[in-house]
Chain A
Amino acid sequence: MDKTSMSDAELLHLVRSGDPSGLSFVYEKYRKEYFNWIRRFSRCDADDACEYYQGTIVIFYENVTNGKLTELQSSLKTYLFGIGKNLVMHEYRKSQRGEKVKAEFIIQSHLADSAQEMLSEENDLALVHRCFERIGDPCHRLLQLFYFNQKSMEEISGELGYKNPETAKNQKYKCMERLRKLVEGERPTNHAVMTAE
Chain B
Amino acid sequence: MENQRDQELILKYIDRSANPEEVNEVEHRLTAEPEFRKMHSEYNQLPLGIRYHAMADKLDQLRTLETALPAVAPESGVTRLIQYWKPLAAAAALILAVTFILLYNRSESTADLFARNFEPYPNVFEPTQRGDDVTDKRASAFAMYEQANYEGAAAVFRELLAEKQEPEILLLLGNANLVLNRNEEAKNNFLTLIRDFDGLDEQAKWFLSLCYLKSGEREKAKLIWEELGDPKITYSDKAKRLLKEVK
Residues of A near any B CB (own CB < 8 A): 20, 23-24, 27-28, 31-32, 35-36, 39, 41, 46, 49-50, 54-55, 57-59, 61-62, 65, 85, 88-89, 92-96, 103-104, 107-108, 111-112, 115, 117, 121, 124-129, 131-133, 143-144, 147-148, 173, 176-177, 179-180, 183-184
Contact = CB atoms under 8 A, between A and B. Distances in A.
7 contacts: A27-B65, A28-B69, A31-B72, A39-B74, A92-B208, A94-B195, A180-B43
B28 to A, nearest CB: 21
A54 B57 CA distance: 12
CB-CB nearest 7 A-B residue pairs: A128-B49, A148-B54, A147-B50, A35-B72, A125-B52, A129-B53, A132-B53
B191 A92 contact: yes
Interface string B37-58: 0000011011111111111101
B223 interface: yes
Name B's interface SS: helix
Contact of A95 (B65, B74, B191): B191
Given A27-B62, A95-B191, A96-B195, A184 B53 contact: no
Contacts of B11: 173, 176
Given A27-B65, A92-B191, A95-B191, A36 B72 contact: yes
A128 B55 contact: no
Contact of B49 (A31, A32, A88, A129): A129
B195 A111 contact: no
A143 B50 contact: yes
B51 A46 contact: no
B48 A128 contact: yes
Contacts of B165: none
Given A89-B227, A176-B11, A180-B46, A107 B59 contact: yes
Contacts of A132: 49-50, 53
B220 A111 contact: no
